[in-house]
Chains A and B, each alone.
Chain A
Amino acid sequence: MTRHIIPLDIVAKKTSAPAGAGCAAKSCGTDTAGSDLPPEVWAKVKDHPCYSEQAHHYFARMHVAVAPACNIQCNYCNRKYDCANESRPGVTSERLTPEQAVHKVAAVAARMPQLSVVGIAGPGDALADWRHTFETFDLLSRQFPDIKLCLSTNGLALPDHVDRIRELKVDHVTITINMVDPAVGEDIYAWVFYDHRRHTGREAARILHERQIEGLRRLVEAGILVKVNSVLIPGINDAHLAAVNETVRGHGAFLHNIMPLISDPAHGTRFGLDGRRGPTPAELKQLQDHLGGGARLMKHCRQCRADAVGLLGQDLSQDFTMDRVAGMTVEDRPEERRLYREFVERERLDREQAARVAERGLSAAVTVPPLLVAACSRGGGRVNQHFGHAREFQLYEVDGAGIRFVGHRRADHYCQGGHGEEDKLEAVVKALDGVSVLLAAKIGSCPSDRLKAAGITVITDHAYDYIETAVAAVYRSHRAAAAADGQAMAQAS
C-alpha cells in the first residue's frame, strides 16, 4: 500500500461550490484559468510550480542532485556547508548518480501524484559537467514522459548545449543573472573557468555576461521558456537590477525572479565572512514594486535546496534520502497523476471564480490604505493550516483595486540560532513585520495574544476558505470599521 506523502484532502476540503457542478471547464468558456498568456505558453507553465504562481498551490517539484561540479565561484556560494534544516540553493545532503536519481524520482512519483516537474539545479552547475545532467534527463524522459524537465544554470556553458536541451524537451531553463555590467560583476564573482583557463576580475565577469546573454537569446529562439534569477545584493547590485530586468526582458525572458541574498558567516561564503547583509523584506518588495512594469516578476520563489522535494515551501527532502528511498517500492502510477491534474483543472477554475467574486466587492467610494494580510496555507490556495504548523506565510496586499499576491515570509529560513517555542514565536513576529491581519485555520491562545500585542489581528473564521475569499472579507470589514470610526469622529466633533 502506498502512502501519499502530501494528503490529497488539503485541497479538497470544503469545496463550497463543487467544481464541475454547474461550472464545468468548457461551459465557462475558458480552459485557461487565471491566465492572460497565449494558450501554448499556458500549457507549458500551468503545472509548473515555479513558473506559475497559481500552480505552486497545487503541484510539487523535485530537484535531483546529480551535478556537483561548478565552473564559476560566486561570492555568495559555498557548497561545502550542508545542513538538513537549511533551504538555500547549492545545498544538498547527497549526490546522486543518474540511475539513483531515476530511482528517487520513481519513489517520489509513486507517493506524490502532485509531482509535475523534475529539475536539476546543482548542487553545482547543471551544465558544468553536463554528462550526468543529460544522462539523467534522457532516462527520465523515457520512464516518465508526462513529467516536465527543467534545469538551472549560471549560463557559462549554456550556449554549447542549447540544441541538446531542446532535443531532450526541457521546456524550462533558469539562468542566474546578477549583472549586465562587468564592473558590477567583478564584485560578485571570484573567478570563472572557461576555455581551459581560470579568469578573474572584470574579465571573468565580462565572459560570464556575454555567455549568459548568448545562452538566453538562443534559448528564446528555440522556443524554450527562460526564467532569470537575480540575487539582490545590497550595496553591490541593488541599484543595478532594474537594468538587468530591462535587458533580460529585451531578450525575451519569460520570468524574472529577484531573490534576497542569503548571507551568514557560518556558511563560509565570501559575502558571509565579509559581513555583507541580505536585504530586508521591505527592500525586496520596494525593488519588486519598482519593477512592476517590467518582465513578469516571480514572487513565490523559495530558494530551494538542490535536493528539494514537495510543494514549494514544504520541503520533504529528508523523507527521501537515498537510505529511505532504497527500501521503497516504486510502482509508477501515471493514472494518479493524470487524475490529479484533472482535479486541479476543476479546482483552479473554482478558485478563480471565487477570487473574481471576492474582488467584485472590493471597490467602493470609501477607500482606505492597502492592507497586508498573511495566510497560513498548506496548499490548494486555501486558509487550511494551523498557525503552529506554519513554517511560512503567504502574503497578500489588498485595497479597493484588488488582491495582489506579494510573496511569502519564512520564520525558519535557515538555522536562526533560536531554541524553544518562545524564540520561535518572536522570530515569527519579526517575520510578519508590517502585516496587519493573520489568517489561520486554528491558533492557540498564547501565540494569538502575542500576535495581538504586536498589533496583528488574528482571524480563524475563514478556515478552509480560498485565500482570496478570506482576504476580501477581511478588507471589507476593515473598511466598514474605518468608515464607522470616521462617522463616530464626525458626530463627536
Chain B
Amino acid sequence: MAYKISAADCTGCGACEADCPSKAIRMKGDVYAINPDKCTECVGKFDSPQCVAACPANCISHA
C-alpha cells in the first residue's frame, strides 16, 4: 500500500514532501521518492493522498 513518484516527470519542487503527513518522502538525487514502508496513502488522515493532490507535475500514482 503505497504511492510512487515517476522520476522522469518529477520536477523536484518538493510540494509533496512538504505536505506528506507521514514523512515518507525524501529527496533522492534531483527528484523525490516515496518510502513505501512509511506511506500510508493518507488513509484515516485525509480524504485524498496529499502528495497526489499537491503535485504540480501530476506525476504521483499508485505503485
Give residues in A with beta carbon < 8 Å to B: 68-71, 73, 79-80, 95, 124, 128-129, 131, 193, 196-198
B57 to chain A, nearest CB (A): 7
Which B positions have Cβ atoms within 8 angstroms of A?
Answer: 11-15, 18-19, 46-48, 50, 53-54, 56-57
Q: Give me 21 A-to-B residue pairs in the complex whose CB atoms sit less than 8 angstroms apart, sorted by A's number.
A: A68-B12, A68-B14, A69-B15, A69-B18, A70-B13, A70-B56, A71-B15, A71-B54, A73-B56, A79-B11, A80-B57, A95-B12, A124-B13, A129-B15, A129-B18, A193-B53, A193-B54, A196-B19, A196-B47, A197-B47, A198-B48
Q: A69-B56, A193-B19, A193-B54 are in contact. List 8 more A-B contacts (CB 8 A).
A: A71-B15, A79-B11, A80-B11, A193-B15, A193-B53, A196-B19, A198-B48, A198-B54
Are A197 and B13 in contact, with the CB atoms below 8 A? no
In the complex, how many angstroms separate the beta carbon of B10 from the nearest chain A beta carbon? 10
Bound-state Cα–Cα, A207 to B15, Å: 19
Q: Contacts A69-B18, A73-B56, A124-B56 hold; do A196 and B50 have CB atoms under 8 A apart?
A: yes
Flag if A69 contacts B14 (CB, 8 Å).
yes
Chain A residue, CB-CB nearest to B30 = A95
Residues of B within 8 A of A73 (CB): 56
For B52, give the chain A residue with the smallest CB separation. A198
* Residues A79 and B56 in contact, CB atoms below 8 Å apart: yes
- Please report the number of residue pairs spanning A and B whose Cβ atoms sit closer than 8 angstroms: 46
Q: Which of B13, B46, B57 contacts A196 (CB 8 A)?
A: B46
Chain B residues lying within 8 Å of A196, measured Cβ to Cβ, are 19, 46-47, 50, 53
Nearest chain B CB to A46's CB is how many angstroms away?
35
Q: Is the interface of B mostly helix, strand, loop or mixed?
A: loop
B48 and A124 within 8 A (CB): no
Shortest Cβ distance from residue A138 to the other chain B in the assembled complex, whole angstroms: 18
* Chain A residues in 8 Å Cβ range of B13: 68-70, 79, 124
Smallest Cβ-Cβ distance to A196: which chain B residue: B46
What residues of chain B lie closer than 8 Å to A129, measured between beta carbons? 14-15, 18
Q: How far is the CB of A60 from chain B (nearest CB, A)?
A: 27
A170 → chain B, closest Cβ, in Å? 20
Residues on A with beta carbons closer than 8 Å to the beta carbon of B15: 69-71, 124, 128-129, 193
- Chain A CB within 10 Å — which of B47, B53, B56 has the most? B56
- The answer for the CA separation of A131 and B14 in the assembled complex, in Å, is 11
Min C-beta distance of A442 to chain B, whole Å: 44
Please name all residues of chain B whose beta carbon is closer than 8 Å to the beta carbon of A69 when the two chains form the complex: 13-15, 18, 56
Residues of A close to B12: CB separation below 8 A: 68, 95
Please name all residues of chain A whose beta carbon is closer than 8 Å to the beta carbon of B11 when the two chains form the complex: 68, 79-80
Q: Which 9 A-B pairs have the closest CB atoms?
A: A69-B15, A68-B13, A198-B53, A129-B18, A69-B13, A193-B54, A69-B14, A196-B46, A70-B56
Please measure, in the bound complex, the distance between the C-alpha atom of A492 and the C-alpha atom of B46, giving whole angstroms.
Answer: 87
In the complex the two chains form, what is the Cα distance from A197 to B46 in whole Å? 8
CB distance from A156 to the nearest CB of B (A): 12
Closest A residue, CB atoms, query B53: A198
Which B residues lie within 8 Å of A197 (CB)? 46-48, 53
Which A residues touch B50, using CB under 8 A? 196
Residues of A within 8 A of B18 (CB): 69, 128-129, 131
A128 CB to nearest chain B CB (Å): 7
Cβ–Cβ < 8 Å partners of B53 in chain A: 193, 196-198
Shortest Cβ distance from residue A341 to the other chain B in the assembled complex, whole angstroms? 37
